């Protein structure tokens, strides 16, 4: 079903479309991507933005994440949070990185679902590729 009315070619906003007053949680707002999302939303006039730093909310702790989502009642989530450290750190501590990042994504996605979040955008890490892969990288190089 289209959101375009035949007598008016301007698309109608979908019921799940962001509005300036929407409650939007940006997980990872201090990182490169999360900070860019936060700036863009602020520039576009979104005023009900929810941010919380790692020292206040550890996204690897399931119960803490559940309580946060119950309290904040976010409508939309941008999930840009991750444990990062670059290729060398990923190479030296691969199990730690994958464990923490799986905990973060699972806790946030599940709590968002259970609390009724309308939409969630999950941004995965690009620092998970082999160090010596040919560029541009193709799937068979992994």
Count Cβ atoms below 10 Å from residue 23 Cβ, excluding itself.
17
| Residue 1 pLDDT greater than 50, yes or no | no
Tokens representing 100 are 């923490």
Count Cβ atoms below 10 Å from residue 128 Cβ, excluding itself.
13
pLDDT tens across 75-113, in order?
Answer: 999 999 999 887 788 778 889 999 999 999 999 999 999
* Annotated domain spans of the chain: 24-127
Residue 111 CA neighbour count, 13 Å, CB half? 26
- CATH, range 24-127: 3.40.50.720
Q: What is the pTM of this model?
A: 0.79
């Amino acid at each position: 079903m289209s959101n375009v009315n035949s007598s008016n070619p301007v698309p109608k906003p979908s019921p799940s479309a962001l509005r300036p007053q929407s409650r939007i949680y940006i997980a990872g707002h201090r990182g490169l991507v999360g900070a860019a999302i936060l700036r863009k939303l602020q520039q576009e006039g979104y005023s009900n933005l929810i941010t919380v730093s790692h020292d206040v909310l550890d996204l690897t702790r399931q119960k803490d994440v559940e309580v946060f989502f119950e309290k904040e009642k976010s409508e939309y989530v941008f999930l840009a949070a991750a444990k990062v450290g670059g290729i060398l750190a990923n190479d030296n501590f691969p199990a730690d990185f994958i464990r923490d990042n799986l905990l973060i994504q699972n806790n946030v996605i599940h709590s968002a679902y259970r609390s009724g979040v309308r939409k969630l955008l999950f941004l995965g890490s690009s620092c998970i590729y082999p160090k010596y892969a040919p560029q541009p990288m193709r799937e068979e190089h992994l």
